[in-house]
Amino acid sequence: MANPTLITLTNPRAAAAEAFRSLRTNLMFSSVENPIHTLLVTSAHDSEEKSRLLANLAVTFAQSGNKTILVDADMRKPSQHTIWGIPNERGLTTMLLEDAALSTPPLMETSVENLQVLPSGPLPPNPADVLSSRRMDEVIGVLKARTNYILFDSPPVLAATDAALLGSKLDAALLVIRAGHTRRDHAARAREALERVHVRIVGAVLSNAPRQNSGGYYG
């Protein structure tokens, strides 16, 4: 049975599910000259909301017929393994440490065709150093060769430098802003932190917005 937070699976006709599909389409066609194949999804502070949003977005990418890998690169508070009900003994950190895992990634299948999840794996003592390493570049390259799109979950921007370091290695970043929760100055600071290291921000998505304004989620 699908996790109730995955509205794209439990209620695909809902306005919120349609908003996720619209967001996916906007991202796919955001730039014809510089197409997005690797995307970072992060937030200013809130961790749980952006992870749920990313999981739903990943479903819509896969449902469009594109091979998609969702990577949990939040090595401080990973949650994708919980959302998807999969083990977390092996994952991204395993690929960073073991050559065998680099050549044979420990990807987990999901109930969604075309969608695989790479959980975080055991948490390292120094996430920022791990994500900024050359080995991480190799991991990204290996995964890109296997799929059409890779969506990365990361810690909130203002909580650690992880998001900025990882984002600088990817095609683009999407900032999640929670209505009635994320402060305007925090959102501005998060944007500045990403732009400082030349992360390409393709936009922001507002979550938890009043239904009369957005139908649930909108970009």
Distances (CA, A) of 206 to 70, 95, 105, 211, 219: 21, 33, 33, 12, 6
Residue span of the structural domain in which 80 resides: 32-214
Q: What is the CATH number of the domain that holds 157?
A: 3.40.50.300
Which of 69-78, 122-131, 166-175, 202-211 is least confident?
202-211
> Does residue 19 form part of some domain?
no
> Does residue 4 form part of some domain?
no
Find out whether 158 and 185 touch, Cβ atoms under 8 Å: no
> Does residue 193 form part of some domain?
yes
> Does residue 9 form part of some domain?
no
> Does residue 24 form part of some domain?
no
The answer, as to whether pTM is greater than 0.85, is yes
Number of domains in the chain: 1
* Average pLDDT estimate for 199-205: 90
Question: What average pLDDT does the structure give for the chain?
Answer: 89
Instruction: Tell me which residue of 100, 157, 162, 169 sits closest to 130, measured CA to CA.
Output: 162
Q: How far apart, in whole angstroms, are the C-alpha atoms of residue 54 and residue 42?
A: 9
> Does residue 143 form part of some domain?
yes
Question: 93 pLDDT band (50/70/90 cuts)?
Answer: very high
Query: DSSP states of 56-109 as a string?
Result: HHHHHHHHTT--EEEEE--SSS--HHHHHT---SSSHHHHHH-HHHHHS---EE
> What is the per-residue pLDDT across 26-75, written as a single tens digit (0 to 9) for each?
999 877 778 899 999 999 886 668 999 999 999 999 999 999 999 999 99
- Where is pLDDT greater, at 179 or 149? 149
Terminal Cα-to-Cα distance of the chain (whole angstroms)? 28
